[in-house]
Amino acid sequence: MFHKLAIAKTLGSFSFEGASKTRTASFDKCSSIYIDGGKSIDFEAVLDTVAGEYNISRDPRDYLLVPARAVSGNYHNENLDFFADTELTRFDPQLGRNIYATFNLCPSFVNHNAENYRLSRGVIVDSHFNDLNDASDSVKEAVFNSMGVETDKDVFVECLVALDSTKDTALVDGFKTGAVNAFSMGADVESTTCNICGHTASTTFQLCPCIRNKFSRKKYNLSGGRSAVAFEICNGTIFRELSTVDDPADKNALVQDRLLSVAANASNPYNLSNREVNDIFRFVAKNGAALPEALSKLLYSVLEDGGAQ
């Protein structure tokens, strides 16, 4: 099994009330089922299901909702990983859903800091396979370079991400102002197949020479006079999370991690109740960007010393 990461772009944002929906400038002409109001979602039911596990607010009014282009179909991404539309829409009877829908109810982290669900900044409310958009020239070229076929459609998985403003105000403000405008998806895949030689691998030891050297971006000659770089065709995909990247409050992640460690230790030397630790954690998460670097280091140092006792 392999773990895959890739940058995902935002399509816009809006509040639960939907009073003002704003688009990211570079996607003005992109049809979004969430921005355009084509789907009804029981957001309160989602929060009732996950809020306790993810340590996020149960109040829908606390959230900024961000539609994101999570995974593009039929051409390789910047990490030279390829997700076919047939893989994204494939129904998995063991999971009881289409592959793209494995995003549903997954957490949203910062910089893939996904070791503890309580560090989640929000939740992926819903996902769908978006085939509403005509392919731009760049998409047509990318699909042809990857598959050797012409297309007139730009297909991708669109996710609706809810970010908790009470847990990370700086992060939500970053999306509102455009200072933060990207996610990075995380997925596990059972195996990958080389587009050049057709070899399938499920561990790094099984990778063919083409894939081992894929980042050299060497072009291989293919039949029909076409050439292509080596990339991995992903099989058996399960999407796990969407992370925000370049979070302005990320400097406090270590402090938050240590607070969680203390909370999990019933014999913590400060005799803090779970509620008290949770209150401290929420304060640090909410006010992270405003904490001076020295205070962040001091908090972490104190917690580290206490945990070692």
144 and 279: one domain?
A: no
213 and 128: one domain?
A: yes
- Domain boundary pick from 244, 264, 288: 244
186 and 260: one domain?
A: no
Judge whether 101 and 197 are in contact, CB under 8 Å.
Answer: no
Q: Is 43 exposed, middle or buried (0-12, 13-18, 19+ CB in 10 A)?
A: middle
- Sequence-distant contacts of 266-271: CB under 8 A, at least 24 apart: 268/306, 268/307, 269/306, 269/307, 269/309, 270/306
Please give the Cα distance from 292 to 299 (Å, whole number).
11
85 and 129: one domain?
A: yes
75 and 155: one domain?
A: yes
pLDDT at 111 over 60: yes
Please, which residues bridge with residue 106 across strands? none
Q: What is the pLDDT of residue 179?
A: 73
239 and 160: one domain?
A: yes
Average pLDDT of the segment spanning 82-110: 96
- Domain boundary pick from 211, 244, 277: 244
Nearest to 139 by CA among 159, 122, 156, 118: 156
Question: Would you give the distance in Å from CA 114 to the centre of its chain?
Answer: 10
Please give the Cα distance from 158 to 115 (Å, whole number).
25
Please give the Cα distance from 1 to 227 (Å, whole number).
28
Please, which residues bridge with residue 257 across strands? none
When the pLDDT of each residue in the chain is averaged and rounded to a whole number, the result is 80
240 and 254: one domain?
A: no
Judge whether 27 and 184 are in contact, CB under 8 Å.
Answer: no
User: Which residue range forms the structural domain that includes residue 277?
Assistant: 250-308
- Domain boundary pick from 221, 244, 267: 244
Average pLDDT of the segment spanning 11-19: 58
254 and 169: one domain?
A: no
Judge whether 47 and 58 are in contact, CB under 8 Å.
Answer: yes
198 and 288: one domain?
A: no
Q: Is 144 exposed, middle or buried (0-12, 13-18, 19+ CB in 10 A)?
A: middle
What is the pTM (predicted TM-score) of this model? 0.74
Q: What is the pLDDT of residue 96?
A: 96
Please give the Cα distance from 142 to 78 (Å, whole number).
11
Average pLDDT of the segment spanning 201-206: 95
Judge whether 77 and 232 are in contact, CB under 8 Å.
Answer: no
pLDDT grade for 271, boundaries at 50, 70 and 90 = low
211 and 67: one domain?
A: yes
Q: What is the pLDDT of residue 297?
A: 61
214 and 258: one domain?
A: no
Lowest mean pLDDT among 98-107, 173-182, 268-277: 268-277
220 and 167: one domain?
A: yes
Secondary structure of the chain: what % helix, strand, coil (to 5)?
A: 35, 30, 35
Please give the Cα distance from 43 to 124 (Å, whole number).
10
pLDDT at 19 over 50: no
Q: What is the pLDDT of residue 309?
A: 35
Q: What is the pLDDT of residue 137?
A: 93
Q: What is the pLDDT of residue 10?
A: 67
Q: What is the pLDDT of residue 272?
A: 62
Q: What is the pLDDT of residue 283?
A: 65
The phi and psi torsions of 44 (rounded to 5 degrees) equal -60, -40
- Which residues in 18-137 belong to E strands, given as ranges? 22-23, 63-72, 81-82, 91-92, 97-98, 107-110, 122-134
Angle, to 10 degrees, between the axis of helix 293-308 and the axis of helix 253-264? 30
The phi and psi torsions of 53 (rounded to 5 degrees) equal -70, -35
Please give the Cα distance from 155 to 153 (Å, whole number).
6
Judge whether 192 and 9 are in contact, CB under 8 Å.
Answer: no
Residue with tokens 């042809």: 144
Single-letter code of the amino acid located at 79:
N
Single-letter code of the amino acid located at 117:
Y
Total count of domains within the chain: 2
